Amino acid sequence: MWKHVNRVLSWLILLFMLAPIIIIFLNSFNSSRFFSFPPDGFTLEWYRRFLENNEYRKAIGISTELAFSAVILALSVGIPSAYALFKWDSSKRSILQAVFLSPLMLPGIVWAIGLIQYYSMMGLLGSFIGLVCAHAIIIIPYVIRLVTASLCYLDEDTEHAARTLGATPVKTFFSVTLPAIKPGIIISGIFGFMISFTDVVIATFIAGSKYITYPVRMYVELRTEGLDPLAVAVSAAIMFVIIIIALLAEKSLSWSKYL
Amino acid sequence: MKTKHVWALVMPALLLFVLIFLVPFLLLIVKSFQTYVPGTLISDSSFTWENYTQLFSDGYYFKIYYRTIRIAVISTLAVLVLSYPLSIFLSSMNAKVRGVFMTISILPMIGGAMIQTMGWFAMLMRYGTINSFLLGLHIIKDPIQFLGTELGVIIGLVQSFLPMMIYPLVSSLLAIDREIYDSARTLGARPPKIFFSVTIPLSAPGAMAGAILVFMACLTSFVTPSSLGQGKIQVFGTYAYQQAIQVMNWPFSSSYAIFFILSMGIVVLALNLLARGLRRKRCGSM
């Protein structure tokens, strides 16, 4: 009996957690502008307008470019660090690891207040490179954590064997170590992309007016003009892509174990 | 690996951290002791305590402070209560199915704050989904005001941050030895008794870890209170944004942020010590 009660409760809680996403999907097809329930009728009008709307397409383009660049930067500095720290027998290791993980503890909004002043001093406020560096900082902790987790599964004997057979350290890294830590790299890449792509806080503080990402655009519109069905359709489309990627990542790499 | 090589590999990331993460924090501290010159972004660089004394001179800041903490405490407690049934359900599944459900339950986080907020906005609007549904069934006569109220903000925060609690809670539930449940049952304990004297004590460290994460996230949240509070629910995040972006009083917003983070840091540190105490007690009793 208790088991069934708990099951029913769980489904209700799950429904509550997913309610906003479900409502976004349902309303993206709702012909009423006012999000009434039950819906007035079925329409693809909002999606058609989305395809014709250059503003949103541009904002999504900027977000994609930004997320892609931030992930590349985070991976290219994060993987070597994770690898070196893993192989280093020194008491300083945990200090450096703590440094790289610190963005997870310190609230983004406090950092953003410092960052806006710093960027304005350096002339980086509103610049693309400024956004990329800031987002890379919040992605690096995940790269370090996930790559280190994959390194724990790596059999060190294989690396030794490769070295004994005459492979250079560089060759060993690329043909033995790298394939072993691939899941960590892919998962932190996907997760990092989503973090950057959906970030509002850091981007609203430092984005300026030239590089307005899609979530910032949505935020500003929601605050000034209220909810627009067109924005709902855009969000539904983006959420759909995110769900597909998340389920694929779970199916092929069981990513939920790492997160 | 040789220390020389380690430093070479770590250097690019370290440099990025120093330049983009550490220096802004130091600048935040320096700026908090400077004076704001209205209309400019360059502050008077002479040293002053004024930004900090201002925080204690006016009851307004205390009100924001108190409201932020109240909302965070209520939301964290609600998350704690809601996450237990779901986490128990998730931990009873086989690994493959659980993976899919864990992925589904992290969607509120990876979908981003903006999409969650928009969904709640559509539901909580004056003539939005919930009100039009309740009006249609004649349960209520007039629409309920959700937007611009603390209730609306709390609903949004609880939903957004549930995944932060579920992940650590499920992993600590999975770590509990199944045989303990079997023996409790054999000894005649009923499910509610098992829940309160086995499940809760043994999963307390995970719940505490999750609670700290959720509490911190609620305290410093910005998108949810700003959008669902509609400017009427002023909390730390929205006020910091107003001072830094709209008023552009950077010295004061710096001192405000530092004061907030230091005082909250002490609370979180105390909670962390408590969590460690829970873990030790658990090991000591077994």
**A127 part of contact set with chain B, CB < 8 Å:** no
DSSP 3-state assignment of A30? strand
Is A139 in CB contact (< 8 Å) with chain B? no
Asked if A204 and A17 count as a contact pair (C-beta separation under 8 A), the reply is no
Prior bond of A38 cis (ω within 30°) = yes
- For chain B, say whether A7 makes contact (Cβ under 8 Å): yes
Q: How many CA atoms lie within 13 A of B234 on its CB side?
A: 11
Ranges A30-34, A222-226, B24-28: which has the least confidence = A30-34
Q: Is the CB of A59 inside 8 Å of chain B's CB atoms?
A: no
Residues A23 and A60 in one domain: no
Partner residue facing A19 (CB), from B99, B111, B123: B123
CATH 1.10.290.10 fits B53-284, yes or no: no
Chain B: residue nearest A196 by CA? B112
Å between A201 CA and nearest CA of chain B: 7
Q: Do B123 and A77 make contact, defined as CB atoms within 8 angstroms?
A: no
Q: Which residue has the tokens 């609600």?
A: B78
- Chain B nearest C-alpha distance from A19 (Å): 7
Of A21, A78, A87, the CB nearest to B1: A87
Same domain, A116 and A16: no
Our CA-based measurement puts residue B212 at a distance from the nearest CA of chain A, in whole angstroms, of 10
Residue A140 in contact with partner chain B when CB distance is under 8 A: yes
Q: Given this model, what pLDDT does residue B284 score?
A: 42
Tens digits of residue pLDDT in A43-60: 888 888 888 888 888 999
Taking CB atoms and an 8 Å limit, are A20 and B3 in contact across chains?
Answer: no
Model pLDDT, residue B188: 87
A37 contact residues in B (CB cutoff 8 A): 129-130, 132-133, 136
Tell whether A130 and A27 lie within a shared domain.
no
pLDDT band at B285 (very low <50, low <70, confident <90, very high): very low
Verify whether the Cβ–Cβ distance A81 to B250 is below 8 Å.
no
Give the residue, A91 or A240, on which the prediction is more confident: A240
User: How far B13 CA sits from the closest chain A CA (Å)?
Assistant: 5
Closest partner CB to B119 (pick from A10, A19, A99): A19
**Whether residue A109 sits in one domain with residue A25:** no
Q: What is the pLDDT of residue B280?
A: 60
What's the domain count of chain A? 2
Task: Note whether A17 and A145 are same-domain residues.
Answer: no
Do A63 and A158 fall into the same domain? yes
Q: How does pLDDT run across B87-111, given as a tens digit for each residue?
A: 999 999 998 899 999 999 999 999 9
Q: B113-140: per-residue pLDDT in tens?
A: 999 999 999 999 888 888 888 888 888 9
**In sequence order, what DSSP letters do the residues of chain B get, joined into one string?**
--HHHHHHHHHHHHHHHIIIIIHHHHHHHHHTTSB--TT-SSPB-S--SHHHHHHHH-HHHHHHHHHHHHHHHHHHHHHHHHHHHHHHHHHTS-HHHHHHHHHHHTHHHHT-HHHHHHHHHHHHSTTSHHHHHHHHTTS-SS----TTSHHHHHHHHHHHHHHHHHHHHHHHHHTS-HHHHHHHHHTT--HHHHIIIIIHHHHHHHHHHHHHHHHHHHHT--HHHHHHHTTSS--HHHHHHIIIIIS--HHHHHHHHHHHHHHHHHHHHHHHHHHHHHHHHHHHT-
Please tell me whether residues A200 and A246 are part of one structural domain: yes
Contact A100 B107 (CB under 8 A): no
Q: Domain holding A214: CATH number?
A: 1.10.3720.10
Asked if A71 contacts A193 with a C-beta cutoff of 8 angstroms, the reply is yes
Residues A72 and A21 in one domain: no
- The answer on pLDDT for B57 being more than 80 is yes
A235 falls within a domain: yes
CA geometry: angle B238, A110, A127, nearest 5 deg? 95
Q: How far apart are CA B115 and CA A51, in angstroms?
A: 19
Scored b (16 or more CB within 10 A) or e, B154-183 reads bbbbbbbbbbbbbbbbbbbbbebeeeebee
- Contact status, residue B108 vs residue A17, Cβ threshold 8 Å: yes
Q: In 10 A of CB A237, how many CB atoms?
A: 19
Instruction: List the domain range (segments joined by +) for residue A105.
Output: 53-257
Tokens of B81: 């209560």
Q: In A, which residues are within 8 Å of B258 by CB distance?
A: 110
Which residues share a beta bridge with B35?
A: B44
Amino acid at A217: R
**Two tokens, residue B182:** 């079997």
- The token pair at B109 is 């986080």
Q: Check whether residue A108 and residue A182 sit in a common domain.
A: yes
pLDDT digits (tens, 9 = 90+) for A182-214: 999 999 999 999 999 999 999 999 987 889 999
Chains A and B form CB pairs within 8 A to the count of 273
Q: Distance, in angstroms, between B74 CA and closest chain A CA?
A: 17
Option in B13, B111, B237 nearest A21 (CB):
B111
Same domain, A121 and A20: no
Q: Give the pLDDT mean for A75-84.
A: 93
B119 Cβ partners below 8 Å, 6+ apart?
A19, A20, A21, A22, A23, A24
Same domain, A101 and A153: yes
Asked if A257 has any chain B CB less than 8 Å from its own CB, the reply is yes
User: Does the residue A81 lie in any domain?
Assistant: yes
The pLDDT confidence band at residue B267, using thresholds 50, 70 and 90, is confident
Alpha carbon distance B216, A254 (integer Å): 28
The identity of residue A243, as a single letter, is I
Closest approach of A247 to chain B, Cα-based (Å): 7
From chain A, pick out residues whose CB is under 8 angstroms from the CB of B104. Answer: 14, 18
Global pTM value? 0.91
Q: Assess whether A92 and A25 both reside in one domain.
A: no
- Contact status, residue B33 vs residue B48, Cβ threshold 8 Å: yes
CA A42 – CA A5 distance, rounded (Å):
36
- Let me know if residue A48 belongs to a domain: no
Instruction: Give the pLDDT confidence score for residue B37 in this predicted structure.
Output: 77
